[in-house]
Amino acid sequence: MSMNNNYELYKVFYWAAKTGSLTQAARVLYLTQPSVSYAIKQLEDSFGITLFYRNSKGVSLTQEGAILYSYIEQSQILISLAEEKMAALKNLDSGELRIGGSDSLFKHYLLPYLEDFHQQYPGIKLHLNHGTTPEIIAYLKEGRIDLGVVRMPIADSLLEVRESIQLQDCFVAGGRYAELKDAVLSLDMLLQYPVILFSRNSRARMAITELFQSYGYPLKPEIEVGSVDLLIEFARKGLGISYVTREFVAKELEEGSLFEVQLDVELPPTHVGIMIMRNMPLSTAASRFMKLVE
């Protein structure tokens, strides 16, 4: 007995049994009746049993045919459900979008895009994974996210990074250090004040540490915090001078609760990139989101 029958034979069998007519089965499958008859014969020959009785109205299942039909019917239902699911995913009626990034990038950069995407495709579930750049890279390689939003540069041959917006980091302080508003500080002078940095191994933290080291100064913060919101709040409260992204404190700078501390060296800008696995197909949802951000 052959166990490698072509799926098309089972499909012919299914419709012949379902309609009780070889003619009807042929019409549904856009085949000729002889083609349907031949397919049924092939299937019967492969099993060595008769699957149908012919009658005046068409065909009816034998006992063995009824047993086969009970299995094939289940498979056809599952295939139909799978096709419906694929259509829903294609049309973005269902599915999920998994994005990795930092809290600050979600809040200050991605939020408007996430709102637009959710309004356009409410059936897509959004899963946001928070982490530093090294963590987001690991999530992507492990298949836990579809794409990551990170600070560049990223040097990894397995990843493709599409450049997005430019950001500018700066040092900010609150009213307690008002005497610094019109001053231009050297790095050495800045280090006379308590510096507040993000505690985790973020790209911004690494970049500013490397910059100070290039001028011969070790950067050892007096206070380390676990979120950008705390960097902002600690600076407002006068606990020190925080290193933050200027675009993320635009409101505080405008209202005057914070001011930017000017330095005699230029702080280089950074770029945000959308990171995906190289040579790996994106889901429809992820592709659509990428186009929205671009």
> What is the rounded average pLDDT of the residues 249-268?
94
pTM greater than 0.75: no
Specify whether the CB–CB gap between 174 and 240 falls below 8 A. Answer: no
Question: What's the Cα-to-Cα distance from 107 to each of 60, 130, 138, 266, rounded to whole Å?
Answer: 64, 11, 22, 27
Return d(Cα 200, Cα 123) in angstroms, integer. Answer: 35
Q: Which of helix, strand or coil describes residue 70?
A: helix
Domains of the chain plus CATH, in order, are: 7-89 (1.10.10.10), 96-160+275-293 (3.40.190.10), 169-268 (3.40.190.10)
Return d(Cα 111, Cα 91) in angstroms, integer. Answer: 23
Residue 4 has what pLDDT?
65
pLDDT higher than 50, residue 100: yes
Structure confidence at residue 56 as a pLDDT band (50, 70, 90): confident
Specify whether the CB–CB gap between 165 and 273 falls below 8 A. Answer: no
pLDDT in tens, 142-161: 889 999 999 888 889 999 99
pLDDT higher than 50, residue 2: no
Q: Return all residues near 247 (Cβ < 8 A) that are at least 6 apart.
A: 108, 167, 168
Token pair, residue 62, equals 């034998």
